């Protein structure tokens, strides 16, 4: 159940969120479909993607120019008006992504492929190098545009925006998101 922006889950709420799922923010023909690894407990408890304070997805999206202002997680449905959406490789909520098995990621990659074939976004942007490598069997993948496609959909890999990913600052994430935004604009003729 989605909650207000002011809602702060209790430890009991977070524990109860383990193993739950949250709805995708999805529509046919999006410019970019952002794909997280899987929802964290905070997202499971609130019902919104990238909801944990300290997650850098929303700041990176804004600072890269994808959104006109920094959205809150409870405003995620407004992304659809901008041709953007959110899904996950694995739907199951966990405390940390490393709780997922390789098989879950590979199965999630197959399900994601089917979702992309159905909704046909111009670009699928997977937020997590390791998850992409496992889900799609591409162990040497680096950040950026990938040589593979899913149907007519280009694939892009971005760093994981989790606060646990200390390798990237918000500014460095925004730079990677900005490169993707420019490619999305080029592909859509804007």
Q: What are the residue numbers of the active site?
A: 38, 49
Rounded to 5, what percent of the chain is helix, strand, coil?
A: 40, 15, 45
In Å, how far are 47, 53, 93, 146 from 101, measured between CA atoms? 23, 25, 13, 24
Reduced to 3 states, what is the DSSP secondary structure of residue 144?
A: strand
- Which neighbouring-strand residues pair with 86? 25, 34
Beta strand ranges found along the chain (DSSP E):
32-36, 84-88, 123-127, 144-150, 153-158
* Distance separating alpha carbons of residues 92 and 147, to the nearest angstrom: 28
């Amino acid at each position: 159940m989605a909650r207000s922006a002011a809602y702060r889950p209790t430890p009991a709420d977070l524990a109860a969120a383990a193993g739950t799922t949250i709805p995708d923010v999805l529509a046919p023909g999006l410019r970019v479909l952002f794909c997280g690894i899987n929802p964290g407990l905070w997202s499971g408890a609130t019902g919104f993607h990238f909801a944990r304070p300290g997650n850098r997805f929303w700041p990176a999206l804004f600072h890269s120019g994808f959104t006109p202002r920094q959205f809150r997680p409870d405003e995620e449905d407004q992304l659809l008006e901008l041709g953007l959406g959110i899904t996950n490789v694995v739907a199951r909520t966990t405390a940390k992504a490393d709780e997922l098995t390789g098989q879950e990621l590979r199965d999630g990659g197959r399900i994601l492929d089917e979702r992309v074939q159905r909704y046909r976004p111009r670009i699928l942007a997977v937020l997590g190098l390791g998850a992409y490598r496992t889900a799609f069997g591409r162990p040497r993948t680096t950040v950026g545009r990938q040589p593979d496609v899913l149907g007519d959909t280009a694939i892009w890999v971005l760093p994981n925006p989790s606060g646990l990913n200390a390798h990237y600052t918000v500014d460095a994430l925004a730079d990677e998101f900005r490169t993707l935004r420019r490619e999305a604009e080029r592909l859509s003729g804007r």
